[in-house]
């Protein structure tokens, strides 16, 4: 071993080499990703310039305007829940989507994990493909089938179940379905890898001890795969809450979520500090969820030891 | 009771099986899984099927035709947008793969100090909601005075492609036997030579699948591109979004189907490369 290490330490010190190799990637992310976040943080405490951009005067207006509206005449603040509703709607939609993804994914992932090797690979590829297929196109595809004159309504009307097209698109339902449709593979895959590692002798033992199927599943299978549940929920909840395309295309502008509100501030509304403040809130919310789940996952693993 | 405890595992399996059938099966899970696949694929299949519809109507089938593909291929704006998309994706995938290759070589099988921090930075773009990345990039480019257009799209794409290129390369490197470069070193190969002759050839599957994933991610991106594109530059997803604003038309179906086909082929190729890599 010592000989090997000797031969490794050539003219250039390995530490320096590592720095040279790692440096560029880290620098690119620090400059183009972390620095922009810092700028956003600063901008969220500045005044909005009339045509986009900022005026360099410190103010917390961007944050207060999320909850209050400032009166133009006497400068008084009145509570306005409009933006809070958007925020609550985002959390609610993302939460429901995550829950439904979980309900769909647990049986699916379990079923895939218990298939023979060959079938398993086919299932996995089938679940993975949508994950890599263009999100915009998939959202358009969902709008296409949900539309008033789309295939679902056409079939239902031809069969005589309904006489008027069902309002499947341009509402909260469509947005929620869109979120599930967008992020379902994110839930199936981590759950699958958790089930994959499951020791089926545990299940056998449970049956030997006269557990019913239901009890065995709820008390033995589910707890073992908690890390997978947590990872999957995170992977669905985080992109859902900041989702832009699903509410934009399927909601038809009536069911705004925080992602759309942020986007608007930098496009048509041109209120950069307000958009920056909303971004900071979304980022904080996301990182808090990540931290909370990471801590819970950490506790879980230390419990197991 | 003592009889059960002393029986062989095979015996126990038999008793359990006779009581409740396949011990791993739960009723309804299979049909739910198939429903899940239908849910994932039906909209895509419908969208693709109606791109071959002869009529203008998106709801009534009036015969097979390729006319919408002819329209799409004849449209100069679409050609420009598609070319832009491909150029950006090739450059972004190549740059991010090179950056990721360096980073992965430095972090895997080397001194662990700072490895966790490096990993956190490299995967940071995955943690941030896309819309936040999008607006932050816009604000940054405006603040430092880079005019919005092709360059800003490219820079933004390189950044968010890094984790997608990094993870497969890292996984591949972790699977490599660290004694191989060590053996090369024993035979008086310099670290650079050991890397070029031993590690790099073995890394090829990881590099290819990383590059392909970065390419797909770049080709598909909408939100970040939309915010940093500025008025001049456009990519295929931006163009499709623009078309959709004017209403759902058969042209939207046709161009969407083309993109669906492209992504699917790329994913399958990437998966195949990954599997070939595993067999080595």
Taking an 8 Å cut-off on Cβ atoms, the answer to whether B23 and A110 are in contact is no
Residue B59 pLDDT level (bands cut at 50, 70, 90): low
Three-state secondary-structure class, residue A292: helix
* Residue A76 binned pLDDT confidence (cut-offs 50, 70, 90): confident
CB A168 within 8 A of CB A174: yes
Q: What is the pLDDT of residue A288?
A: 86
Q: Tell me, yes or no, whether A14 lies in a domain.
A: yes
- A/B interface, count of CB pairs below 8 Å: 278
A238 pLDDT above the threshold of 60: yes
The string of DSSP letters for A59-124 reads --HHHHHHHEEE-TTT--EEE--HHHHHHHHHHHHHHHHHHHHHHHHHHHHHHHHTS-HHHHHHHH
In this complex, do B59 and A244 lie within 8 Å of one another by their Cβ atoms? no
pLDDT of residue A10 exceeding 50: no
Percent of chain B surpassing pLDDT 70: 86
Q: Is A208 on the interface with B (CB under 8 A)?
A: yes
Task: Give the count of domains, chain A.
Answer: 2
- Tens-digit pLDDT profile for residues A119-157: 888 898 888 888 888 899 999 999 988 887 777 887 788
Q: Do A144 and B43 touch (CB under 8 A)?
A: yes
Q: What is the pLDDT of residue A300?
A: 56
For residues A11 and A114, membership in a common domain is answered with no
Per-domain residue ranges of chain B: 77-279
Q: Is residue A207, in this structure, part of any structural domain at all?
A: yes
Rounded mean pLDDT of A7-36? 78
| A41: in domain | no
C-beta atoms of A136 and B159 within 8 A: no
Provide the shortest C-alpha distance from residue A41 to chain B (in Å): 10
- Residue B18's pLDDT is what? 44
- Averaged pLDDT score across all residues of chain A: 83
Q: Residue A255: what pLDDT?
A: 83
A304 three-state secondary structure: helix
Nearest CA in chain B to A123: B37
Query: Quick check: A257 contacting B, CB < 8 Å?
Result: no
Predicted pLDDT of residue A211: 82
In this prediction, residue B169 carries a pLDDT of 87
- Asked if residue A112 and residue A258 are part of one domain, the reply reads yes
Residue B12 — very low, low, confident or very high, per pLDDT cuts 50/70/90?
very low
Which range, A15-19, A290-294, B93-97, is most confident? B93-97
**Together in a domain, A17 and A144:** no
Between B48 and B116, the more confident residue is B48
With bands split at pLDDT 50, 70 and 90, how would you rate the model's confidence at B141? very high
Domain match, A155 and A280 both: yes
Output B2 or A260, whichever has higher pLDDT: A260
* Residue A279 lies in domain: 91-304
Contact check, Cβ <8 Å, B260/A137:
yes
Residue A164 lies in a domain: yes
* A69 domain-assigned: no
| Residue A249 pLDDT > 60 | yes
Predicted local confidence at residue B239, as pLDDT: 92
Asked if pLDDT for residue B20 goes beyond 80, the answer is no
Average pLDDT over residues A30-39: 93
For position B250, what pLDDT does the model report? 85
Q: Which residue has the higher pLDDT, A66 or A98?
A: A98
In contact, B68 and B51? CB cutoff 8 Å:
yes
When mean pLDDT is compared across A215-219, B21-25, B174-178, the lowest value belongs to B21-25
| pLDDT of A297 higher than 80 | no
Query: Could you tell me how many residues make up chain A?
Result: 305
Question: For B77-279, which CATH class?
Answer: mainly alpha
Please report whether residue A149 resides in a domain: yes
Average pLDDT over residues A260-277: 89
**Per-residue tokens: A272:** 């950069």
Cβ contacts of B29 within 8 Å, gap of 6 or more: A107, A108, A110, A111
Q: How far apart are CA B231 and CA B233, in angstroms?
A: 6
| CA angle in degrees (0–180, nearest 5) for A269-A251-B261 | 105
Closest CA to B264 of B220, B201, B198: B220
Residues A31 and A103 in one domain: no
Specify whether A256 is located in the same domain as A181.
Answer: yes
Residue A35 near chain B (CB below 8 Å)? yes
Instruction: Report chain B residues whose CB lies below 8 A from the CB of A271.
Output: none
In this complex, which of B33, B110, B128 lies closest to A112 when CB atoms are compared? B33
The structure tokens 């059938």 sit at B21
Q: Which of residues 57-96 of A touch B (CB under 8 A)?
A: none
CATH number of the domain bearing residue A291: 1.10.3720.10
Q: Give contacts of A259 with chain B, Cβ < 8 Å.
A: 129-131
**Residue B122: pLDDT band by 50, 70, 90 thresholds?**
confident
Interface touch B136/A36, C-beta < 8 Å: yes
More confident of the two residues A68 and B214: B214
- State whether A196 and A290 are in the same domain: yes
**Mean of pLDDT values over B184-195:** 83
Test A266 with B135 for CB contact under 8 angstroms: yes
Shortest CB distance from B222 goes to which of A25, A33, A136? A136
Q: Does A273 touch chain B (CB under 8 A)?
A: no
Query: Of B24, B131, B223, which is closest to A203 when you measure between CB atoms?
Result: B24
Q: Whole-number mean pLDDT of chain B?
A: 82
- Residue A80: pLDDT band (50, 70, 90) is confident
pLDDT of B7 reads: 41
Kindly indicate the confidence band of residue B114, based on its pLDDT and cuts at 50, 70 and 90.
low
* pLDDT for B269: 86
Q: How many CB atoms lie within 10 A of CB B145?
A: 6
pLDDT at residue A31 in the model: 93
Which of A50, A43, A56 is closest to A270 using CA atoms?
A50
pLDDT of residue B2: 40
């Amino acid at each position: 071993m010592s000989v090997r290490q000797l031969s490794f330490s050539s003219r250039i010190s390995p530490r320096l080499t590592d720095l040279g190799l790692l440096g560029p990637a880290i620098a690119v992310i620090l400059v183009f990703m972390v620095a922009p976040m810092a700028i956003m943080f600063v901008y969220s405490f500045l005044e909005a310039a009339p045509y986009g951009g900022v005026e360099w005067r410190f103010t917390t207006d961007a944050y207060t305007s999320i909850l209050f509206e400032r009166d133009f005449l006497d400068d008084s603040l009145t509570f306005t829940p409009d933006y809070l509703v958007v925020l609550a709607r985002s959390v609610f939609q993302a939460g429901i989507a995550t829950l439904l993804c979980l309900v769909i994914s647990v049986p699916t992932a379990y079923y895939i994990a218990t298939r023979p090797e060959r079938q398993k690979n086919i299932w996995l590829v089938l679940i993975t493909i949508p994950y890599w297929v263009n999100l915009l196109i998939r959202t358009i595809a969902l709008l296409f089938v949900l539309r008033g004159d789309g295939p679902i309504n056409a079939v239902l009307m031809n069969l005589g179940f309904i006489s008027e097209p069902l309002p499947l698109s341009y509402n909260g339902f469509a947005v929620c379905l869109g979120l599930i449709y967008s992020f379902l593979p994110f839930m199936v895959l981590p759950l699958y890898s958790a089930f994959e590692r499951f020791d089926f002798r545990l299940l056998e033992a449970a049956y030997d001890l006269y557990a019913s199927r239901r009890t065995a599943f709820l008390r033995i299978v589910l707890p073992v795969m908690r890390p997978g549940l947590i990872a999957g929920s995170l992977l669905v909840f985080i992109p859902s809450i900041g989702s832009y395309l699903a509410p934009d295309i399927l909601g038809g502008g009536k069911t705004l979520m925080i992602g759309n509100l942020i986007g608007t501030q930098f496009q048509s509304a041109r209120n950069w500090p307000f958009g920056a403040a909303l971004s900071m809130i979304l980022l904080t919310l996301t990182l808090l969820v990540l931290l909370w789940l990471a801590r819970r996952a950490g506790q879980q693993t230390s419990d197991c030891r | 009771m003592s009889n059960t405890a002393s029986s062989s595992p095979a015996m126990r399996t038999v008793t359990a099986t006779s009581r409740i059938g396949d011990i791993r099966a739960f009723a309804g899970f299979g049909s739910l899984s198939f429903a899940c696949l239908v849910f994932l694929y039906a909209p895509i299949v419908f969208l693709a099927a109606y791109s071959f519809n002869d009529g203008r109507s998106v709801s009534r089938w009036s015969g097979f035709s390729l006319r919408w593909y002819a329209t799409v291929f004849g449209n100069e704006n679409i050609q420009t947008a598609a070319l832009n998309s491909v150029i950006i994706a090739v450059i972004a995938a190549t740059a991010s793969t090179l950056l990721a290759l360096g980073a992965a070589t430095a972090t895997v099988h080397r001194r662990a100090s700072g490895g966790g921090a490096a990993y956190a930075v490299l995967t940071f773009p995955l943690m941030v909601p896309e819309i936040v990345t999008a607006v932050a990039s816009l604000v940054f480019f405006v603040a430092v005075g880079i005019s919005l257009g092709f360059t800003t799209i490219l820079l933004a794409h390189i950044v968010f492609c890094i984790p997608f290129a990094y993870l497969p390369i890292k996984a591949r490197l972790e699977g490599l036997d660290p004694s191989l470069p060590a053996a090369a070193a024993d035979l008086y190969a310099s670290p650079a030579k050991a890397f070029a002759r031993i590690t790099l050839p073995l890394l090829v599957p990881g590099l290819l699948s990383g590059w392909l994933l970065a390419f797909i991610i770049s080709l598909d991106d909408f939100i970040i591109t939309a915010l940093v594109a500025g008025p001049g530059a456009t990519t295929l997803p931006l163009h499709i979004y623009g078309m959709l604003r004017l209403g759902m038309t058969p042209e939207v179906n046709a161009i969407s189907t083309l993109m669906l086909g492209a992504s699917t082929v790329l994913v399958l190729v990437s998966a195949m490369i990954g599997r070939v890599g595993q067999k080595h």
